[in-house]
Amino acid sequence: MTVAVSILPEQQLAVLNAAYRQAVARRRWRLLFGAVVFAAALCLAAIGAEVNLRTLFAHYGNFISYFDRILTLDSGQRVWTDVGEWLWGWRKWLRMLGETLLISYVGTLIGATFAFCLNFLAAENTSPAPWLRFTMRRLLEFARTVPGIVFALIFVIAFGLGPMAGVLAIAIHSTGALGKLFSEIVENADMKPVEGVRSTGASWLSCMRFAILPQVTAGYASYALLRFEINVREASVMGFVGAGGIGQELVVAIRKFYYSDVSAILLTIIVTVFIIDISTGWLRGRLFGKEART
Partner 1 sequence: MAARPSVRQGGADVTGPQETDTAALRARYPDVFARPASARLAMPVMIVAAFAILVYGLVDLDFSPSRFVAGLSQLGWISLMMIPPDPGSSLPIYLKALGETLSIALLGTTLAALFALPISLLAARNVVPSKLLRFPVRRFLDSIRGIDTLIWALVWINVVGLGPFAGVLAIAVSDFGAFGKLFSEAIEGADQKQVEGIRASGGSALHEIRFGLLPQVLPVIAGQVLYFIESNTRSATIIGIVGAGGIGLQLAEQIRVLEWQKVSFLILMILVAVAAIDFVSGKLRFAIIGRRAVA
Q: CB of residue 76 vs partner 1: minimum separation in angstroms?
A: 20
Provide the binding-site residues for partner 1, judged by CB under 8 A: 41-42, 44-52, 55-56, 59-60, 62-63, 66, 99, 102-103, 105-106, 109-110, 142, 145-147, 149-150, 153-155, 157-160, 162-164, 167, 233-234, 236-237, 240-241, 244, 250-251, 254, 266, 269-270, 273-274, 277
CA distances to 184, 207, 211 from 192, in Å: 17, 11, 8
Q: How many residues does the chain have?
A: 294
Give whichever of 120 and 259 is closer to partner 1, judged by the CB atom.
Answer: 259
Burial class (CB in 10 A: 0-12, 13-18, 19+), 261: buried
Q: How far apart are CA 227 and CA 105, in angstroms?
A: 10
CA distances to 71, 84, 180, 200 from 204, in Å: 60, 61, 21, 12
Strands (E) across the chain are located at: none
Give whichever of 15 and 40 is closer to partner 1, judged by the CB atom.
Answer: 40
Q: Chain centroid to CA 189: how far? A: 24
Give whichever of 18 and 58 is closer to partner 1, judged by the CB atom.
Answer: 58
Give whichever of 168 and 211 is closer to partner 1, judged by the CB atom.
Answer: 168
Please give the DSSP secondary-structure letter assigned to residue 126.
Answer: T
Single-letter amino acid code for the residue at 75: S
Give whichever of 26 and 59 is closer to partner 1, judged by the CB atom.
Answer: 59
Give whichever of 13 and 271 is closer to partner 1, judged by the CB atom.
Answer: 271
Q: How far apart are CA 108 and CA 178, in angstroms?
A: 9
Which residues lie below 8 Å from residue 198, measured CB to CB, with a gap of 6+?
207, 211
Q: How far apart are CA 37 and CA 48, in angstroms?
A: 16
